[in-house]
Amino acid sequence: MPSICFYFQVHQPKRLRKYTIFDINKSHFYETDEANGSIMRKVAYKCYLPTNELMLELIKKYNGAFRISYAVSGVAIEQMKRFSPETLDSFKRLADTGCVEFINETYYHSLAFLYSKEEWKRQVAQHNELMRQEFGQEPTTFRNTELIYHNEVAKAAEELGFKTILAEGADKILGWRSSNFVYQPSNCDNIKLLLKNYQLSDDIAFRFSNKGWASYPLTACKFSNWVHELDGNAETINLFMDYETFGEHQWEDTGIFKFLYALPEYIFKNPSFNFKTPSEVAAEYPVRDRVDVPYYVSWADTERDLTAWKGNYLQDDALEAIFSLEEKVYRTGNDELIQTYRALTTSDHFYYMCTKWFADGDVHKYFNPYESPYEAYINYQNVLKDFTQTVEKELMVQTA
Amino acid sequence: MNMSKILMYGWEFPPFITGGLGVACYDLTKALSSLGTEITFVLPTMKGKNPVNSHLHLLDTNDLRVPNYIDKSISYEEFMEKIDLIGINSSLRPYITEDSYQEFINRMYESNTITEEHIQKDFYQFNISGDYGPNLIAEVFRYAFVAGSVAADVEHEVIHAHDWLTFLAGVEAKRISGKPLVCHVHALETDRSGINVNQQIFEIEKRGLEAADQIIAVSYLTKNSIVNYYGISPDKISVVHNAVSKKKSTQRTNSVKKDPDEKIILFLGRITFQKGPDYFLEAAAKVLQKYPKARFVLAGSGDMINRLIERTAELKIGRNVHFTGFLKRPEVEELFASSDVYVMSSVSEPFGISCLEAILFDVPVVISKQSGAAEVLQSALKVDFWDTEELANKILNILNHKALRKELQAQASEELKHIQWEKSAQHVIEVYDKIKKQAAVCK
């Protein structure tokens, strides 16, 4: 009985406003409500609302046999509350069906694991609390920001009591093995590892509307045939992707919604196939092998490594600068400053500073609100300068 | 395609007359000839010097005699009649603008009339200085008349003229040989003078652009100006970006500086409206509020210099602002090598090779978005020329953050590997091939 395991990532960063060196000491407001509000409303209208509606319909239609999972970042939920409360309501309705699993991640969709395990734990706990509050679920599955994974991430998640963890099914960690089975991190005994089938996931997420692709146009029938061909050679087909694939990356006129609506019908044409959420897959299938990942992998770009967020001079400098503030920030005990600090650890800030796209891929450019990575760095550093001064002033006031 | 024989017209060519235009002509022709193109380059004057190690055949217009017996030959009077430009005797503003024009106007009037001494028994001969002096426009006409006639003697398939100074020569050459004409636009009167356009130069540009079979613009910015201000069809305009050739001595030095905290921010170019030195100065005042040890160097001369010195005093930043006047090449290189930031704040910059030169010296650059270089360079910080606060913001961030400097340096030097004259020359050859094909079809 092979399973289709869907996990969708829902995330919207809190983008920074244009903040010049001349704003330092004059304004402590760093975010752009205008852009963040209009982007949230736009994506809600094009993607979240219609796709959620469609998911609800499918769950109803198949009497609970259609099952999916989401990781919704805390910063996305904060912004839904402010700019599109109906979106959060519709996610809650999905939670109420009992067919949807909500996955735990860092509240701020941050890179904290790379710099501060303590901070990472705090942000995971904050997100855990949010999942309970908003969706009434106690998550048992964990995924780290952008599927950033390492033996140590698995170990830390296991220590927090998670039963399942998600990662990219990168060739370099699997070698000849297939992503379509349940694995266990080589250094763990109590947590199972689900690996993304990047071939089939990216057929939907990236190639769906590519007219230059040999398999264009992708239909639910064609896709299901590919899935069915795996029968006997697979236990779980992990389709992990950004939720914005539906209606935002792939526009409605590409036929993406029709594809999604028809998909379960065609999958069920082979009665041995079903849909399961990550924790259900982990509970159902045995561990087939152990995988050792003593280096970082992610789901980004062709490199599947950290270079989208870390590694150039700008990114490393900015990352070191923010995480070096941690001790001071917590010493203030000021909740507002702590939230600001955490929001500045969101991975997107560093993604915008990536200079890789000069040579390849313009994906970064598409999602970048800045004209260049240098602008992103300058803006971030200006904000950080003001924030640092604010924190230091607060500490001085407290000791005085 | 087979190798082309090109009859090329240019006003500047090192070492005879050197400016930005001359350097671009030199580097481009060098790359073209390395790709097999044969070039005859007609200069207004070689000032009696002999070219060494030249990659092309140079002609000095002053050595040329225009026979008045050849087929299609016309008299200078007939030639001038055909030119028939409006306001032919009005004052002229060359590249280097000056404050006083009265002298121009007087001398212009004299120099446009032709005297017996120019007309020998059976040929014309002129003495052209090639300077951007008050006689410039008269020289442009005489150059056109004499240099254009070379087309009767020199074998060529395509005529290629650089900027308005030689456009009329190109048009005359085309009249004589019937070969296709490429007009190469490095700068336009509309860039140089903003709204105070010299109508005569504008007319000469327009005439050349209209007569051209193909136009090469050094940027999309320039292409748009050609379309919008000169009413030329975009279909016959190709964009070929400039490049920079790697020089040997690009070592960074600190010879100018004493205090390591002291930072030098460099502006290099004519101190004229087009280059936006006033915006640089306003940004300097803003930078100094936050970084008192910054020093601002304006290297160049021009008609705005007195105004800027007054403004410097008014802003009370004289201690940190230095006007060097016009600098020779070794001084320029020394300045590049000791600068911490290079700023090109041009109001309208067709290309702006100087920022690429700064990168050769590992200097981070902030350039105006209103520049052709901004189209090819990703590893530069870019600002709207009028946004002096943003310019200051960017300069300050470069001064404050080593990571930003290092990333800019690393990426820019990587990018520069791809901004090569050979690539530009390749595109120019494509234009030649296209135009030759068109000409063949027409016959």
Whether the upstream peptide bond of residue B260 has omega within 30° of 0, thus cis, is no
Q: Is the pLDDT score of B90 beyond 50? A: no
The pLDDT of A174-194, averaged and rounded, is 96
Mean pLDDT of chain A: 95
Residue A198's identity, in one-letter code, is Y
Q: Would the CB atoms of A378 and B394 count as touching at under 8 Å?
A: yes
User: Which residue in A has a C-alpha nearest to residue B403's C-alpha?
Assistant: A313
- For A155, other C-beta atoms within 10 Å of its C-beta total 14
pLDDT band for position B72 (cuts 50, 70, 90) = low
Q: What CA dihedral angle connects B379, B384, B388 and B390, to 10 degrees? A: -50
Residues of B with CB under 8 A from a CB of A: 286, 290, 378-379, 381-382, 389-390, 392-394, 396-397, 400-404, 406-408, 410-411, 414-415
Q: How many Cβ contacts (< 8 angstroms) between chains A and B?
A: 63
Q: Would the CB atoms of A21 and B410 count as touching at under 8 Å?
A: no
Give CA A308 to chain center in angstroms.
Answer: 14
Q: Would the CB atoms of B407 and A355 count as touching at under 8 Å?
A: yes
Q: Would the CB atoms of A371 and B290 count as touching at under 8 Å?
A: no
Place of tokens 């296709």: B180
Q: Which residues of A touch B389 (CB under 8 A)?
A: 20, 22
Q: Which residues of B touch A381 (CB under 8 A)?
A: 397, 400-401, 404
Q: Would the CB atoms of A21 and B393 count as touching at under 8 Å?
A: yes
CA distances from A333 to A37, A341, B105, B181, B344 (A): 29, 12, 77, 75, 46
Q: Would the CB atoms of B403 and A314 count as touching at under 8 Å?
A: yes
Q: Note the pLDDT of residue A344.
A: 98
**Which pair of tokens denotes residue A113?**
């694991």
Using alpha carbons, select from B138, B69, B59 the residue that is nearest to residue B105: B138
Judge whether A20 is closer than 8 Å to chain B, CB to CB. Answer: yes
Place of tokens 């590997």: B417
Q: Which residues of A touch B290 (CB under 8 A)?
A: 21
Q: Would the CB atoms of A382 and B393 count as touching at under 8 Å?
A: yes
Using alpha carbons, select from B242, B349, B209 the residue that is nearest to residue B25: B242
Instruction: Choose, out of A319, A374, A377, A380, the residue to mutate when testing the contact with B (most B CBs < 10 Å).
Output: A374
Q: Note the pLDDT of residue B328.
A: 86
Whether the upstream peptide bond of residue A217 has omega within 30° of 0, thus cis, is yes
Closest CB to A314: pick one of B286, B392, B404: B404
Exposure of A184 in the CB half-sphere (CA atoms within 13 A): 15
The pLDDT of B179-195, averaged and rounded, is 91
B443 versus A217: the higher-pLDDT residue is: A217
pLDDT digits (tens, 9 = 90+) for B91-100: 334 443 444 4
CATH of domain A3-291: 3.20.110.20
pLDDT digits (tens, 9 = 90+) for A25-68: 999 999 999 999 999 999 999 999 999 999 999 999 999 999 99
CA distances from A41 to A36, A47, A48, A245, B218 (A): 9, 10, 9, 16, 42
Q: What is the DSSP letter of B118?
A: G
Structural domains of chain B, with CATH: 5-243+422-442 (3.40.50.2000), 263-416 (3.40.50.2000)
Q: Is the pLDDT score of A147 beyond 80? A: yes
Exposure of A221 in the CB half-sphere (CA atoms within 13 A): 1
- Residues 299-318 of chain A with CB under 8 A from chain B are 312-314, 316-318
Instruction: Choose, out of B397, B399, B402, B418, the residue to mutate when testing the contact with A (most A CBs < 10 Å).
Output: B397
Q: Note the pLDDT of residue A143.
A: 97
pLDDT band for position B252 (cuts 50, 70, 90) = low
Q: Note the pLDDT of residue B192.
A: 85
Q: Would the CB atoms of A358 and B396 count as touching at under 8 Å?
A: no
Q: Note the pLDDT of residue B129.
A: 78
Q: Report ipTM (2 d.p.).
A: 0.87
Using alpha carbons, select from A169, A116, A173, A120 the residue that is nearest to residue A145: A120
Q: What is the DSSP letter of B40?
A: E
> Which one from A105, A146, A158, A248 is the annotated catalytic residue?
A146
Closest CB to A374: pick one of B408, B414, B415: B408
Judge whether A355 is closer than 8 Å to chain B, CB to CB. Answer: yes
Q: Is the pLDDT score of A361 beyond 60? A: no
Judge whether A22 is closer than 8 Å to chain B, CB to CB. Answer: yes
User: Taking the complete model, does pTM exceed 0.95, yes or no?
Assistant: no
B122 versus B220: the higher-pLDDT residue is: B220
Closest CB to A358: pick one of B382, B390, B411: B411
pLDDT digits (tens, 9 = 90+) for B375-425: 999 999 999 999 999 999 999 999 999 999 999 999 999 999 999 999 999
In whole angstroms, give the CA distance from residue B186 to residue B255: 34
Q: What is the DSSP letter of A102?
A: E
Q: Would the CB atoms of B378 and A358 count as touching at under 8 Å?
A: yes
Q: Note the pLDDT of residue B79.
A: 74
User: Which residue in B has a C-alpha nearest to residue A358's C-alpha?
Assistant: B378
The pLDDT of A161-166, averaged and rounded, is 98
Q: Note the pLDDT of residue B258.
A: 58
Residue B66 contacts residue B149 (beta carbons within 8 Å) = yes
Q: Would the CB atoms of B379 and A358 count as touching at under 8 Å?
A: yes
What are the structural domain ranges in chain A? 3-291, 313-399
Q: Would the CB atoms of A22 and B286 count as touching at under 8 Å?
A: yes
Q: Note the pLDDT of residue B18.
A: 67
pLDDT digits (tens, 9 = 90+) for B127-173: 777 777 777 888 898 889 888 888 988 999 999 999 999 999 999 99
- Residues 356-395 of chain A with CB under 8 A from chain B are 358, 371-375, 377-378, 381-382
Instruction: Choose, out of B404, B414, B417, B419, the residue to mutate when testing the contact with A (most A CBs < 10 Å).
Output: B404
- For B103, other C-beta atoms within 10 Å of its C-beta total 11
Using alpha carbons, select from A398, A323, A381, A397 the residue that is nearest to residue A24: A381
**Active-site residue flag, A146:** yes
Task: Detail the DSSP E strand segments found in A204-292.
Answer: 236-242, 274-275, 287-291
The pLDDT of A57-86, averaged and rounded, is 97
Q: Would the CB atoms of B394 and A372 count as touching at under 8 Å?
A: no
In whole angstroms, give the CA distance from residue B151 to residue B178: 9
**Which pair of tokens denotes residue A12?**
């919207």
Q: Is the pLDDT score of A394 beyond 50? A: yes
In whole angstroms, give the CA distance from residue A245 to residue A227: 20
Q: Is the pLDDT score of B77 beyond 80? A: no
Q: Which residues of A touch B402 (CB under 8 A)?
A: 313, 317
Q: Does residue A350 come out as left (phi exceeding 0), alpha (psi in the -120 to 50 range) or beta?
A: alpha
Judge whether A292 is closer than 8 Å to chain B, CB to CB. Answer: no
Q: Is the pLDDT score of B55 beyond 70? A: yes
Using alpha carbons, select from B170, B246, B270 the residue that is nearest to residue B211: B170
In whole angstroms, give the CA distance from residue B286 to residue B191: 27
Q: Would the CB atoms of A372 and B290 count as touching at under 8 Å?
A: no
Instruction: Please give the share of chain A, as a percent, with pLDDT higher than 70.
Output: 97
User: Which residue in B has a C-alpha nearest to residue A381's C-alpha?
Assistant: B397
Distance to chain A for B397, nearest Cα, Å: 6
Q: Would the CB atoms of A21 and B404 count as touching at under 8 Å?
A: no
Judge whether A274 is closer than 8 Å to chain B, CB to CB. Answer: no
pLDDT digits (tens, 9 = 90+) for A264-305: 999 999 999 999 999 999 999 999 999 999 999 999 888 888
Q: Which residues of A touch B341 (CB under 8 A)?
A: none
Closest CB to A20: pick one of B379, B390, B400: B390
